[in-house]
């Protein structure tokens, strides 16, 4: 298994991986939604506002994650981790956890302080994410599952209140993702 920084030449592989992984786990509609999201995220987010990382086996992408810049009222340097896509046959083998840790380490070298995500607390807690209230860090939209609002400080410090709604990449500027 190789872990590396996403290269834009891998765009089609990443889109196809996200579509197939989410179709397999959540159905056709979710797969199409993630295909659209990843396409927009890669094509419409300025390069300095997007970090991607992937895992490959024999040059075939089996995992992809993306971090997109958040605008926080207190000027903390923050990113949103989403989506995380792992090919079905590699799920449950710590590929996702290792890939996320790799990405967090890379962001740490860039001076990134805060990473938030919106997902399964049981999974993300294994990688150091903690549930946060929407009052502590106010999401861009109302959350359908507030229990899945999670964060961690990459630098190990305590999470501070954001004191206002955060802004997200244009691709996530849609309440249906939240």
CB 104 within 8 A of CB 154: yes
**The pTM of the whole model exceeds 0.85:** yes
Number of domains into which the chain is organized: 1
Give pLDDT tens digits for 17-69.
999 999 999 999 999 999 999 999 999 999 999 999 999 999 999 999 999 99
DSSP character for 21?
A: H
Give the H/E segment covering residue 81.
Answer: strand 78-86
Alpha carbons 80 and 78: distance in angstroms, whole number? 7
**Sorting pLDDT into bands at 50, 70 and 90, what band is 163?**
confident
Mean local confidence (pLDDT), 87-109: 96
With 0-12 / 13-18 / 19 or more C-beta atoms within 10 angstroms meaning exposed / middle / buried, residue 143 is middle
- 40 lies in which domain range? 2-177
Q: What is residue 176's predicted lDDT score, i.e. its pLDDT? A: 87
CATH number, residue 95: 3.40.630.30
> Is the pLDDT score of 73 beyond 90?
no
Over range 68-83, report the average pLDDT: 91
Alpha helices in 27-124 (DSSP H): 28-44, 95-109, 121-124
Tell me the average pLDDT across 163-171. 92
**Inter-residue contact 115 to 151 (CB < 8 Å):** yes
């Amino acid at each position: 298994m190789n872990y590396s920084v996403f290269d834009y030449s891998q765009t089609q592989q990443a889109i196809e991986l996200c579509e197939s992984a989410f179709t397999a786990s959540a159905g056709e509609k979710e797969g199409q939604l993630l295909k659209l999201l990843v396409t927009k995220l890669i094509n419409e987010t300025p390069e300095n506002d997007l970090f991607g990382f992937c895992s490959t086996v024999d040059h075939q992408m089996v995992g992809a994650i993306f971090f997109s810049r958040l605008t926080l009222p207190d000027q903390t340097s923050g990113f949103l981790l989403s989506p995380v896509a792992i090919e079905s046959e590699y799920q449950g083998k710590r590929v996702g956890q290792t890939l996320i840790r790799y990405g967090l380490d890379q962001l740490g070298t860039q001076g990134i302080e805060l990473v938030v995500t919106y997902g399964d607390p049981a999974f993300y807690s294994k990688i150091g994410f903690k549930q946060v209230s929407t009052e502590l860090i106010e999401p861009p939209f109302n959350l359908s599952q507030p229990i899945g609002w999670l964060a961690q400080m990459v630098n190990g410090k305590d999470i501070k209140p954001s004191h206002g709604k955060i802004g997200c990449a244009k691709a996530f500027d849609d309440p249906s993702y939240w």
